[in-house]
Amino acid sequence: MSDEKNLGEMGNVKISEEVIGLLAEKAIKNIDGVVGLASNVVESLVAMVSRKNNVKGVSADIKNENVSITLHTVIRFGVRIPEVAWQIQENVKTVVESMTGLNVDKVNVCVDGVQFPEDEPVEEAPAEETAE
């Protein structure tokens, strides 16, 4: 579904869910603590079958001039999830509303994964030389 605005005699403007997804993805890109978006198996299968170019991890429901957005995210270990989620909501709402003119009703943040730091490589002790 997409939102359609009538501009009078000049025609209509349609904004697709894919555009909302791209804007949401851009809005969270530089938030400290966000690793990225996560996709699930169902999303991947739907994208293959429908051949839609959906942004993984983002869904948008547009009704009239209102939109609800759901993001499936991966967060970096060690950050406060509620604070990161609030920043995601604020950034997505601001970007989508300013770029599209739509009213963002909700930004649902689902934390589907946590990226843990990689274990430090263990340095091997040098082999002892044996006296012969």
In a domain, 122, yes or no: no
In a domain, 28, yes or no: yes
In a domain, 67, yes or no: yes
pLDDT value of residue 5: 64
Closest C-alpha among 27, 107, 39 to residue 67: 107
pLDDT value of residue 4: 62
End-to-end CA distance of the chain: 80
Q: What are phi and psi of 16, to 5 degrees?
A: -90, 165
DSSP-derived letter for residue 97 is H
In a domain, 128, yes or no: no
pLDDT value of residue 131: 59
Which residues, other chains included, contact 97 with Cβ-Cβ below 8 Å and sequence gap of 6+?
A: 103, 104
In a domain, 2, yes or no: no
pLDDT value of residue 42: 52
In a domain, 127, yes or no: no
DSSP element (H, E) containing 104? strand 103-115
In a domain, 60, yes or no: yes
Query: In this structure, what CATH number is given to the domain that contains residue 27?
Result: 3.30.70.1350
* pLDDT tens, residue by residue, 18-55: 999 999 999 999 999 999 999 765 554 555 555 455 57
Domain that holds residue 57: 12-115
pTM above 0.85, yes or no: no
Buried b (16+ CB within 10 A) or exposed e, 64-97: eeebebebbbebeeeeeeeebbebbbebbbebbe
Q: How many domains does the chain have?
A: 1
Taken in order 46, 61, 23, 30, the sign of the CA dihedral is: negative
Report the distance separating Cα 61 and Cα 107, nearest Å: 11
Question: Which residue stretches of the chain have pLDDT < 50?
Answer: 44, 51, 120, 122
pLDDT value of residue 32: 97
In a domain, 1, yes or no: no
Report the distance separating Cα 72 and Cα 114, nearest Å: 12
